[in-house]
Chains A and B, each alone.
Chain A
Amino acid sequence: MATTAVPTRGTHHTATAPSYQSGVWSWLATVDHKRIGILYLYTALTFFIIGGLEAVLIRAQLQGPNRELLSAEMYNQLFTMHGTTMIFLAIMPLSAAFFNFLIPLQIGARDVAFPRLNAFSYWVYLFGGIFITLPIFFQLAPNAGWFGYAPLTTREYSPGINIDFWVIGLQILGVSSLAAAFNFITTIINLRAPGMTLMRMPMFTWMSFVVQVLIVLAFPVITIALVFLLFDRFFGTNFYTIAQGADPLLWQHLFWIFGHPEVYILILPAFGLVSEVLPASSRKPLFGYPVMVYSGILIGALGFGVWAHHMFAVGMGAIADSVFAVSTLLIGIPTGVKIFNWIGTMAQGSIRFTSAALFAIGLVALFTIGGISGVMHASPPADLQQTDTYFVVAHFHYVLFGGSIMGIFAGIYHYFPKITGRLMDEPLGKIHFWLNFIAMNLTFFPMHFAGMLGMPRRIYTYDSGQGWDTFNLISSIGAYMLVVSTAIFVYNFFRSRKNGEVAGANPWDAGTLEWSIPSPPPEYNFATLPNVTSRYPLWEGNEKDMESARVNLQEGKTAEQLHIVLPYSTIKPLIVAGAMVIMFCGLITTKALIFVGAAVLVGSLYSWLLSPLEPEHH
């Protein structure tokens, strides 16, 4: 495979593309997928830090036996919001930041299929995130766990306003995810550059595509589960009223039919990012590309057939338990294939151990540990011992922190130069990695033991003398170290944004399309739509690939000079999103708000739909 002579590092650099407008308004009204991606990135990192601080408070409370730092009620709110924040406000939107920024660049498109809908998704996410987060500052936050099991969450058992915030907040966030999913599915199917066949798409785009399909099929189910809960709480329906004959498992089934695909919604984007980072740092194409595609699809498909393994303890009977145990074990196969293929990608490569590569390798190692403990509680008899203990907490933190978060950090280090035009500091990045890696294991590995010794989840304190004290102390020390490592990351992030080394178009000598354009990319991404003839156009492309790459490397041209039509900036998606959230707020404040919100919503939606997306062609 010949590495080509496309100029890369050290080319002339402009800090911001010249045709971009600046100022607050330009960000509020932006419909540019790259800017929306950056908005997602900053917002989601903020929520990641909030969710992390919630976890630190939890760890401080559990540091030793019988501590009284937090009340039981406050503890309930913190673990509920920690889970909700990390899943819906941090990991999913961090993935969305990459969907937004990368998918059009990877497939050779100028933007997503529906730029204004894309802006709408972001604003709904932001407002929904604020809506569900604010109550914690008034000690009114949701307090029934991120899974919100009904009937516990019905008005009878959770009379306060806390659960209302959760039900409505998740409903709002669902709108954001669904709107984005329609957009990305369409973008990936329809806006691929000439020659970018499905089997030439970069693996991140492939995994994102699987995720969007999962979102489209899984989110409506939780929407309905939440509608039932909302109706039960506000209008007195009986969906979860056991005294009226309701099925106590209805919520659990509906929730986990959503909830298990959600797990793959959280992890597959990270798998995609790692599948970009490892080939670039091993200087080898991804090993077994087609199998990687099929295993990703298989993981997504099987993900819909395993939900009841979250419910082995409720007594579904031997047949149901067996079926779900088998389907769960099956998922281990495509997942294992991915692990081996990453190892195959690195094998005999000349690996550069950049921070991004370290985090990617970290994912491969830590996710495997989480995967193995997952296979352990795929077996119902084992699961009955482990369910609702810290063993499960250890398991899903290995897959979500060791997997998703490590993958996302790999993605941030890898794509930071594409996003900002500057490299992140490597020594600080490596310190961040090692501290993070050690602290992560220190925090979560002892939880396996605490869980095996019987420590239940969601208890706000415990008595001494049960063998849990040391493990908890170690976990808490690990959590404090994670604060330090994250602080180093944040410092590195902001320092490098201003003073990092100028990156040039392709600092990693990577092979995919996003590296064929300047960093940061111009508003229009590609001066000319690329012609694609291979999976790694910059590594193994022919003269046709190279020609479009050379044109696209030009800097400093404006869209007008190139006669490229770009969509108008518009504030309308923000207004529609705001009106929608105001409408939902009406449910818990005054009913008048519902009508005000609905009126503004309809008016601004019509105004949006009836105004042109972009200037007419001449």
Chain B
Amino acid sequence: MTAPAAHHYTSTGLDSRKIAIWAFIGSECMLFVSLISTYLIYKGRSLVGPFPHDVYTNPAGETFNPILNIPVTSASTFVLLMSSLAMVLALAAVQNKDLPKHTRGERVLGSSKLWLWMTALLGTTFLGFQAYEFTSFVHEGLSIRTNLFGSSFFTLTGFHGAHVTAGVIWLVTLLAIDYRRGLGPNDALNVDIAALYWHFVDVVWIVIFTVVYLLK
């Protein structure tokens, strides 16, 4: 992640990477809007179960309970939200790397490695929850092929999970750079961009959680 030409003249005074990431996030919005709209269009239109919020009894008499486990996903949502907090602290730590740190608290808050680790770990925990959710759904009889709900649910949340995975890889890359040469205020923009992406993925999850899990 070397700085491309931060010293060049720019019309806005902003670094070009900052503008590019916002353009990228704009297109990502449309990506998720398409996925979420499709989910909503197909909501309640599955011909066979399992269903997200309702009991389903198939012609053979087997009964399937509502498949979404809202308490567990609430916990994973909380974990992802906390990862955004850790990300904020990681960025602050990188930006303030050169400030003198006197107390133990200041040293903890000022450790970019700690907060990058925290963010990556919380993100990975979220992915763990998702892996657990996916496998338990498959065990309960819902796969991506089962019905419209299965197709749209797994594709939507899977796309989100893939974005979290990419974010975790990005964070680990930043960590590797931090261990190799230390991240300082000069790298703040690179961390800032990663943080923007991470927060975006987090915000998208809030929408997905509301639309898929809370909306009956």
Contacts and interface: CB of A to CB of B under 8 A. Distances in A.
Interface in A204-262: 216-221, 223-225, 227-228, 231, 235-239, 244-247, 250, 254
A617 B7 contact: yes
A224 B38 contact: yes
Of the four ranges (under 10, 10 to 19, 20 to 34, 35 or more), the interface on chain B belongs to 35 or more
A613 B5 contact: yes
Nearest to A115: B4
Given A192-B11, A237-B144, A224 B19 contact: no
B16 A191 contact: yes
Contact of A231 (B8, B34, B45, B151): B151
A237 B38 CA distance: 13
A575 B8 CA distance: 28
Interface in A167-197: 178, 181-183, 185-187, 189-194, 196
Interface of B: 1-2, 4-5, 7-12, 14, 16, 19-20, 23-24, 26-28, 30-31, 33-35, 38, 41-42, 45-48, 144-145, 147-148, 150-152, 154-155, 173
Contacts of B48: 244
A57 interface: no
B144 A113 contact: no
Contacts of A235: 144-145
A216 B26 contact: yes
Given A190-B19, A191-B10, A254 B34 contact: yes
Q: Interface SS of chain B: helix, strand, loop or mixed?
A: helix
A612 interface: yes
Contacts of A428: none
A182 B24 contact: yes
Interface of A: 110, 113-114, 178, 181-183, 185-187, 189-194, 196, 216-221, 223-225, 227-228, 231, 235-239, 244-247, 250, 254, 529, 565, 606, 609-614, 617
Chain A contact residues: over half helix, strand or loop, or mixed? helix
A44 B120 CA distance: 43
A190 B55 CA distance: 55
A80 to B, nearest CB: 24
A227 B155 contact: yes
Nearest to A240: B151
A609 B2 CA distance: 7
Given A244-B148, A613-B4, A194 B30 contact: no
B140 to A, nearest CB: 18
Contacts of B9: 194, 529
A114 B34 contact: no
Contacts of A225: 34
Contact of B45 (A178, A245, A610): A245
A221 B34 contact: yes
Given A190-B16, A238-B148, A244-B46, 5 more contacts: A110-B8, A114-B20, A182-B23, A239-B152, A254-B38
